[in-house]
Amino acid sequence: MSGHKKYPNPKEHIILSQQFTPSFLSELFKLTLEIKKNPEKFSNELSGKLVATLFYEPSTRTRLSFEAAAQRLGASVISTENAKEFSSASKGETIEDTIRVVSGYADFIVMRHFEDDSSKRAVSASSVPLINAGSGKSQHPTQALLDAFTIFENFGRLDNLTLAAVGDLFRGRTADSLVYLLSKYENNKFFFVAPENSRLKAGLREHLKEHNISYQEKSRLEEVLSEADILYITRIQKERFADSQEYEAAKGKFILKKEHLSKMKNKAIIMHPLPRVDEIETAVDSNPRAKYFEQAKNGMFVRMALLKIINDNVYGKK
């Protein structure tokens, strides 16, 4: 299978959500379900392979789930969790030079970086499969995959759904990545709720208009609760604000509380890419619609499937 002509084949490199096609997701999700049912069956799929996790920004779920995925498939892992300080980047080495070097050590590179164009720069220098594990405020494509898988598990489809994305839509990358992916499916509708200084990025707004996809921007959480099949909540990205006053103006605007649940559809689901700060009260956690911890667990299984598919395509099936 080939990727879109503008983008790399997702069976070789993963840099952004626009690469993914419905047929690729169908293959990935079928394999994810098999792995989730019997992970031990796949314990030698990457035997003899080495995965490098190169993280220039903090991470809990993404780094550990990729490393767990690799090791559960039989691969070894080399890792740096703070490459911004504890790699030659601190001496001025470019992304391109770092990737050229690490490509000589590892069979896969999983990279998170604080610059928006980092994955595009890195893939041009990589001689091995490269996976974007988060690039600045731009994209987080594997998060979109695990998010979409969680939606698919709960609804049995990825079309004819209404998603409400809430939070920092300007500095965050997860909502964008998921919307780009879901916009490939028919009859999906989108609501966007954000503080005034954290509204939807121009690029995503243009994408939705260009493809005649239904969306509305709202100013209050209460306006979308009864409409949403998927309530996708994100935190205000404190570390990406240049001005502390701007952050103070945005934080705490939209908090999902237990009393909000009665206004939601019975079969709606609540998602969050985590970490959570204060945007979902802990009292919501026990509600069956809360799927964010299940969502995080799914990350490992989806990334196991993704690594296997790339491995089979690039290095050949066992």
SS (H, E, C) the chain: CCCCCCCCCCCCCECCHHHCCHHHHHHHHHHHHHHHHCHHHHCCCCCCCEEEEEECCCCCHHHHHHHHHHHHCCCEEEEECCCCCCCHHHHCCCHHHHHHHHHCCCCEEEEEECCCCHHHHHHHHCCCCEEEEEECCCECHHHHHHHHHHHHHHHCCCCCCEEEEECCCCCCCHHHHHHHHHCCCCCCEEEEECCHHHCCCHHHHHHHHHCCCCEEEECCHHHCCCCCCEEEECCCCHHHCCCHHHHHHHCCCCCECHHHHHHCCCCCEEECCCCCCCCECHHHCCCCCECHHHHHHHHHHHHHHHHHHHHHHHHCCC
Residue 243 pLDDT:
73
Identify whether residues 285 and 149 lie together within a single domain.
yes
Identify whether residues 153 and 263 lie together within a single domain.
yes
Residue 1 pLDDT:
29
Residue 173 pLDDT:
82
Identify whether residues 39 and 118 lie together within a single domain.
yes
CB 152, CB 143: distance < 8 Å: no
The domain that holds 79 is classified in CATH as 3.40.50.1370
For 90, the domain range is 17-139+297-315
Identify whether residues 283 and 236 lie together within a single domain.
yes
Identify whether residues 195 and 166 lie together within a single domain.
yes
Reading the block at residue 85, the tokens are 């300080």
At a CB cut-off of 8 Å and minimum separation 6, what does 47 contact? Answer: 74, 75
Residue 2 pLDDT:
35
Judge whether 96 lies within some domain. Answer: yes
Give the pLDDT mean for 158-163.
Answer: 98
Tokens 């079309």, residue located: 159
Mean pLDDT over all residues of the chain? 90
Judge whether 102 lies within some domain. Answer: yes
Q: How many domains does the chain have?
A: 2
At a CB cut-off of 8 Å and minimum separation 6, what does 254 contact? Answer: 166, 167, 193, 195, 221, 233, 279
Closest CA to 174 of 203, 152, 214, 146: 146
Whether residue 77 is predicted with pLDDT greater than 70 in this model: the reply is yes
Residue 12 pLDDT:
95
Identify whether residues 282 and 302 lie together within a single domain.
no
Identify whether residues 280 and 152 lie together within a single domain.
yes
Identify whether residues 29 and 114 lie together within a single domain.
yes
Judge whether 197 lies within some domain. Answer: yes
Q: How far apart are CA 119 and CA 17, in angstroms?
A: 12
- pLDDT one-digit tens code per residue, 184-199: 999 999 999 988 777 8
Confidence of residue 32 (pLDDT cuts 50, 70, 90): very high
Q: What are phi and psi of 155, to 5 degrees?
A: -115, -15
Pick left, alpha or beta for residue 293 (phi over 0 → left; psi -120 to 50 → alpha; otherwise beta).
alpha
Give the pLDDT mean for 135-141.
Answer: 84
Confidence of residue 100 (pLDDT cuts 50, 70, 90): very high
pTM of the model: 0.91
Q: Catalytic residues, which ones?
A: 61-62, 91, 112, 140
Residue 249 pLDDT:
64
Identify whether residues 89 and 162 lie together within a single domain.
no
Identify whether residues 160 and 194 lie together within a single domain.
yes
- pLDDT one-digit tens code per residue, 201-243: 888 999 999 999 999 999 899 999 999 999 999 987 667 667 7
Residue 83 pLDDT:
54
